[in-house]
Structure 1
């Protein structure tokens, strides 16, 4: 069984076990210093045993337990519940976009987990994408015993549905009063249809982050129909991510929404052929600090030039994703005069070969590429006065060790000529066989 990482120490919550823990373990303060991501497998299995999963006898003998540590585990993880009963999957953990997901498969396992630990769960993801009619009873139990029961304590709510979001809300209200999530600050929705005449702000009155993502049948940026009428009273948003086709919404409605949420500091959007939407962002999202762009094609770059830059004075981070085969991308990047971080997962060779033409930045992030002349690349980076952090991901340990050897030789020459030197680190991603390579420039 593929064991989860870090969901240990949970046995203190079980009735009749608290006194045993207090007698067997050391101080609670001391046990919270344990590296929760690297505890023994027998500790991981204890929680599974106590919630109806498989276990070992040895697990019950472990005495590394802490109420504070357990709370921290649930605070740090998004509990993803998948009602489908897949025999080869019970519990597994994965890291995605900086979030740690604890995936629970099977209705009985899900209900058992929440029966014991429901009051600790703050972040939840519910996947109703593949549930079929024979699982309707489990779905009703999840709605009643998890969503409706703990709605007031959730701070993050992720939902995947086959139908519309309105149908899901009606299912929860069941003809009665509309459900409310008073403490949810982040809503992530994946499905074919969002919005209508309901008041989204009344349901999520403290919403600060809204993420639309639709990848039906694994096709990139499928069209999700969004009716923004429901968002009329949403005015506290700090983050908006539209990982969907640009035809999913009406641009003037987006402009109106941005104008009412001027405090938005993070925006993610898909761009295809025009700069109109970027000009709207420029005009209304005046406090934007992070902009992530998914490029479906590069036609929009035709309208970008040094004579017509974008005036986004507070933008500090630019993330570029997708395919880009034109050097006009350099002019586009240079439009953002206050940029500090450039995160590029596109045509790396093109960006690096034109690195000398880029504006001054402090941090450069990109995915792993085949480096022909590592020394030449470092010299190019070194010509930038403020660049002091470079990250490549993913990179395996073997490749990083080879680069380390090269850096040692490069640094010897750099010291003699009084040029900047570099320190190279390898940082392993939790749960993965690879990590990222980080180069730090000497001052």
Structure 2
């Protein structure tokens, strides 16, 4: 029986040599191909299959693209005021213009305004003037600016052909400033404060949580009591107290940095607890014991062996923490204790719209910043959920 088996194996090998190189049936299976793929490629492959998460990721990328190129994408400057267009309503982009002979030509434009007097409310109102056509275009010349405060330019992605013509795609505020321009500029502040705040919270949460979970004992007890004290503090009164300590003479950049620190000091506790729990579960694993026997130091055990195994989980948690930071900044600014003019953020835009006349005559001043916050928060939540599911090793 043994000789026959050996002969059959030799025959198979001889036949394979005659047929030339071929792919082993095992290599064609999913087990070998999956084992050859790195963990990050597996996570990305699972993430791509989640359509909602990918759409949310595309929206997030678009928002950050707007934040990076805000000066170029905005048709005007955020501080340019035209009182003659106070509370001017939004203008719709039109594609065809009607000629006197009844034919239509393709021409990108918006309709102008004309002022009428409301005899009941005794105030002026803006109505569409069909006779006035404001041509608009792409890559047009407009107000001078410095891209990233470094590169001077006068080219804007979209705007009126004549810079003096009115173009308010999302309406105008109480000073006649373009809401679309201010919304674009506000994207930079509101989206970046989320990243900066999460970065600071990430460092605090990972480092403190790692130390707490790795050492345990009195170190863990002391850190957990500090986390409990911070978590027990009421958020809004604490914000009020910390923001009230900011001197009024500070520059907008200094205020921005302090608000980021305030938001970060309250956002690291949940991540620290999650990291601590994972460290408590992993510090007794075989690979940690092997690293100890190999002579690895404690810092190397933490940051080289245990922490990398939490990377996907931390990444998902951080993605879900960004919208919390955005909402926190918006809430602080809306309450008047965060960023203030001349800084432009979504919260500042909402704070500027806190008056009865805005609600009655210019509701778009509240709608557009609110929609921006909602879209950003939902996009981060959907993308974070998809990333968390993709990084779950037990989810097939």
| Pair in the same fold by TM > 0.5 | no
Q: Which of 1 and 2 has higher RCO (CA within 8 Å, sep 6+)? A: 2
| TM-score normalised over the length of structure 1 | 0.21
Larger helix proportion of the pair: 2
Larger strand proportion of the pair: 1
| TM-score normalised over the length of structure 2 | 0.22
- Give 1 or 2 for the bigger CA radius of gyration: 2
